[in-house]
Amino acid sequence: MDTIEAKTVLISSEKISPLTYPDCDDDREQDIDDLIDELESQDGLHDNPSRKSMDSGSRIPGMEAQFDTDITTGLTSVEAAQRRKKYGPNQLKEEKENMLKKFLSFFVGPVQFVMEGAAILAIGLRDWVDFGVICALLLLNATVGFIQEYQAGSIVEELKKSLALKAIVVRDGRVTDIDATEVVPGDVLKIDEGTIVPADGRVKTNHLLQIDQSSVTGESLAVNKCKGEVCYASSVVKRGHAYLVVTATGDYTFMGKTAALVKSASSNSGHFTEVLNRIGATLLVLVVLTLIVVWVSSFYRSNETVTILEFTLAITMIGVPVGLPAVVTTTMAVGAAYLAKRQAIVQRLSAIESLAGVEVLCSDKTGTLTKNKLTLSDPYTVAGVDPNDLMLTACLAASRKLKGMDAIDKAFIKALPNYPRAKEALSHYKIQQFHPFDPVSKKVTAVVLSPEGQEIICVKGAPLWVLKTVSEEQQIPESVEKGYSDKMDEFAQRGFRSLGVARKPAGGEWEILGIVPCSDPPRDDTAATINEAKTLGLSIKMLTGDAVPIARETSRELGLGTNVYNSDKLGLGGGGDLTGSELYNYVEAADGFAEVWPQHKYNVVDILQQRGYLVAMTGDGVNDAPSLKKADTGIAVEGASDAARSAADIVFLAPGLSAIIDALKTSRQIFHRMHAYVIYRIALSLHLEIFLGLWIAIMNESLNLQLVVFIAIFADIATLAIAYDNAPYSKTPVKWNLPKLWGLSVILGIVLAVGTWIALTTMMNAGEHAGIVQNYGKRDEVLFLEISLTENWLIFITRANGPFWSSLPSWQLAAAIFVVDLVASFFCYFGWFVGGQTSIVAIVRIWVFSLGVFCVMGGVYFLLQRSQTFDDIMHFNFLQKRDSVSQRVLDDLVVALQRRSEQHEQSSRTAEREDIGLWKMDKLRKERAQC
């Protein structure tokens, strides 16, 4: 640049009319106040620091098809056809699932098998009422499950929406438009501003590109691409033009590998589904054992076939909790409706249960932990320099055209209100020449004309390069250089993205003004929310694409810890030279990872899950979709892409981490309700299974079959209100402690069975004129009342953390239980099932007796629930110890297999490259032969 004669310029205090610019509306330099207001109102702009470039070829294996295609001639039509035949079309493959088959799969499972068996028995007995009830319950459960499975939509379909439809390629020496699906490896692509890149490719021309990779990285800040760097399919060209040579298409692109990770994560069944299946399988085994006892006793007594079938149907109906799926679904649906009011949309109901047990939250940084706004911190100024002078010079070396303004320039313009003198003076300077950021010199340069007619060169850029620019032309005072360099190092260590500022009057000397640090600051509520998360037993690990210093400084400010590492040891090969157990310990102890890719996030989640943790993952971009799907609870944060929303279990409409913590508390309350209900419902099944099994085996009698079916359904009617119960949230992550749960349920079931047996035997005590009934009612209906009362009241015991009186139930639950108890009493009094009234005295005595059983159950449950000895016995801790050596060997084996798989994949790619080389040599020989 030619030297321009001018004298040193300071901020003028004179009142000078602002200059006008006759440019077109789109490109005009706006009034400063209007420009600031416009930038503040643009919610869609995310001013976050750009993440580390992802152009390392070794990290994106692709097809490794680095063809040396001549960009002037491109491929021939014949070559393109051959490669399309070999590599397939440039599109993501998606296997369409048979909807009917998927719907029918919801009729498969332990509980479903028992219900289907009961339906067949009902047909054999011509009991069409029971058959209809059972079929209705089966259909209801299957329909709810099917809807929940598919309401989130297809993730791969969402990924396809971001891909290009058309492409401009060089074929047979001509530039032509083709369908994007026709692009093949080795094609020469011509891309211009606004083009959606149709496939992965390397830049082959010396043109600077600005590429929006938000569909790939989740970060909205455009990145610069130069010759030799990779542009990814679905990226959008924001500025510039160039030619690319395609290196990967279809499933082999970065987007394709992301889709493949999503598919592999989608194959896992939900955590809650596994829990229910294990409970159902155990109950199925108990039903079979009880039926064996009943059948043996019936055959011994030579009972009629109809009688045996009736006994079998009775045991089958009460042996499994037929209403369990409906009540659990209702409980979670009510919770989901409450979360929706708090701007959290639940897409998979079982995610509520998973969120309650989450122990590790892997959170992205930008927008969740931070404000997602590039913000200026207090600048460093060289001695004697006014901060307003520094800011004025920096803003002069910034674009003031709203169209095409980058995030850094926006940050400087929006900071002007804090520097009123600079803001006032800025509009009085006229920009004569403006050179945008140059990736080679790493600076922005502007030549401006001051109100006094003085021309000044203003420079803003990387601090080291600004220092280099000045030092190449003149000697810098030692004190200035030392202070500037020390501050530059300090800002770098603290993770700031800093910009040096200098100016030079035409014909004069350079003046270094200072350094302006930029950062994406933490959200105002994040630090307090993280402290609260720690009190809730939640560990937070930050996963970000930013550089390590930035991630470490953010982590330090938030109190997450400073054990933040890069992603080198999280490679697809299994962690470099770390053994399996070392890698797992490394991930477990880390506070976060920087410079991560989708595969790294996926690996972190997988490693933590293999260590037994329930893991939640937050994300917003396409790159987050695999890890969102892999996690036990995938969370799409505010502003997430469609693909991320489809992959997530919960979508948050409110920004920040605090919304997630609020949802976690609510999920633990919902879990408490479900836990109380599951213990209650298993105990009820065991109660009637034990009682009826013994009654049939010993006395060869049973309750009226219609009463049995009515009890099985009646037990769940009142407890539907458990969804609205008052429930505390646990201060620690909650999980299904199945051994203890089964122990409590079995003992409560035994207490209930003993109570009902006492009621039965005292009714028959000393003949017809003694006992509870005293000949004033029918045995079956009195037993029905006793069973109904004791079973309904059990929920008041299991819902409390302490004694049953320590926590009052909600009015909805209390009212529902009271109404059902009244209905049961009326059934007994009027004899609606068997016929003949029951004495009010007998009903009162049953109420009193049931109250006694209730108190016994309450005492037993309270003692066992708080007993560590009971918990140890149920887990067999007195016989077992954790075999840490075996666990370490298993970890090592898993990682060794992963490495072996990666080596095999690399060998396959090498063989592919060799095939390509042989093909090219053969082609060359044919061309020579033709010559």
Distance CA 255, CA 160 (A): 9
Distance CA 86, CA 63 (A): 12
Position of tokens 């093909």? 919
- Measured CA to CA, the distance from residue 782 to residue 709 in angstroms comes to 16
Contacts of 362 (CB under 8 A, 6+ apart): 541, 542, 543, 601, 604, 605, 608, 615, 616, 617, 618, 627, 631
Q: Cα 508 from chain centroid?
A: 58
Q: Please tell me the total number of residues recorded for the chain in this structure.
A: 931
User: How many angstroms separate the CA atoms of 72 and 173, rounded?
Assistant: 6
- Other C-beta atoms lying within 10 Å of the C-beta of residue 168: 16
Q: How far apart are CA 450 and CA 331, in angstroms?
A: 70
CB neighbours of 352 closer than 8 A, spacing ≥ 6? 332, 335, 336, 339, 346, 667, 670, 671
Task: Report the C-alpha gap between 281 and 6 in whole angstroms.
Answer: 88
Read off the DSSP letter of residue 105.
Answer: G
Per-position b or e across 215-244, b if 16+ CB within 10 A of its CB: bbbbbbbbbbbbeebbbbbbbbbbbbebbb
25 is catalytic: no
Compute how many other C-beta atoms are within 10 angstroms of the C-beta atom of residue 302. Answer: 6
Sheet of 242-248: strand order equals 174-179, 166-171, 188-191, 242-248, 200-203, 230-231
Nearest partner of 172 among 64, 74, 36, judged by Cα: 74
CB neighbour burial string for 268-278, b if at least 16 within 10 angstroms, e if fewer: eebbbeebbee
Compute the C-alpha angle 355/895/270, nearest 5°: 25
Decide: 688 and 318 in contact? Cβ < 8 Å. yes
Backbone angles phi, psi at 455, to 5 degrees: -100, 135
Catalytic residue among 127, 212, 364, 546: 364
HSE on the CB side for 827, CA within 13 Å? 23
- Name the burial class of residue 528, with classes exposed (0-12), middle (13-18) and buried (19+) by CB atoms within 10 angstroms of its CB: middle
The whole-angstrom separation of Cα 416 and Cα 189 is 42
Q: What six digits make up the tokens of 930?
A: 């033709």
Question: What is the Cα–Cα distance from 445 to 430, expressed in whole angstroms?
Answer: 14
Q: Is 350 helix (H, G, I), strand (E, B) or coil?
A: helix
Q: Are strands 539-543 and 592-593 parallel, antiparallel or unpaired?
A: parallel
Strand 497-505 relative to strand 511-519, pairing: antiparallel
d(CA 102, CA 95): 13
DSSP state, residue 370? B
How many other C-beta atoms are found inside a 10 Å radius of the C-beta of residue 537?
A: 13
Q: Which residues are designated catalytic?
A: 364
